[in-house]
A and B are shown apart, each in its own frame.
Chain A
Amino acid sequence: MSEIPDELKYTRSHEWVRDEGDGIVAVGITDHAQELLGDLVFVELPEVGTELSAGGECAVVESVKAASDVYSPLDGEVAEVNETLADSPEAINEAPYENWIFRMRPSDPSQLDELLDAEAYAKVVEEEE
Chain B
Amino acid sequence: MPFIPHTEKEVQEMLSAIGVASIDELFDEIPDELRAAPLEGIGPGLSEMEVTRLMQEKARRDGQPLCFIGAGAYDHHVPAAVWQIATRGEFYTAYTPYQAEASQGTLQLLYEYQTMMAELMAMEVSNASLYDGASALAEAVLMAVRANRKSKSKRILVPRSLHPAYRATVHTLVRNQGIELVELPFDAATGQTDLAALEAHAGEDFAALVIPQPNFFGVLEPVDEMADFARKNGLLSIAVVNPLAMAVLAPPGEWGGDGVDIACGDGQPLGAPLSSGGPYFGFLCCRQKYVRQMPGRLIGRTVDLDGKEGFTLTLQAREQHIRRSKATSNICTNQGLMVTAATIHMALLGAEGLAQTAAACHANLGRLVEKLTSLGEIEPRFSGPVFHETVLKLPMEVPGVLRTLAAHNILGGYDLQQDYPELENCLLVCATETRTEEDLDKYATSLQRVLASRRQGACATMVRFDLE
Contacts and interface: CB of A to CB of B under 8 A. Distances in A.
A6 to B, nearest CB: 33
Mostly, the B contact residues are helix
B2 to A, nearest CB: 30
Interface in A49-70: 60, 62-67, 69
B323 A67 contact: yes
Contacts of A67: 317-318, 322-323, 326
Interface in B320-367: 322-323, 326
A64 B313 CA distance: 11
Nearest to B149: A47
A35 to B, nearest CB: 17
A66 B149 contact: no
Contacts of B318: 67
Contacts of A62: 317
A56 to B, nearest CB: 14
Interface SS of A by simple majority: strand
Interface residues of B, number: 7
* Best-buried of A41, A44, A62, A69 by chain B (most CB within 10 Å): A62
A63 B317 contact: yes
Interface string A24-61: 00000000000000000110100100000000000010
B175 interface: no
Contacts of A65: 317, 322
Interface in A61-86: 62-67, 69
Q: Which 7 A-B pairs have the closest CB atoms?
A: A67-B317, A62-B317, A67-B323, A66-B322, A67-B322, A66-B317, A42-B292
19 contacts: A41-B317, A42-B292, A42-B317, A44-B292, A47-B149, A60-B326, A62-B317, A63-B317, A64-B317, A65-B317, A65-B322, A66-B317, A66-B322, A67-B317, A67-B318, A67-B322, A67-B323, A67-B326, A69-B326
Given A60-B326, A67-B326, 9 more contacts: A41-B317, A44-B292, A64-B317, A66-B317, A67-B317, A67-B318, A67-B322, A67-B323, A69-B326
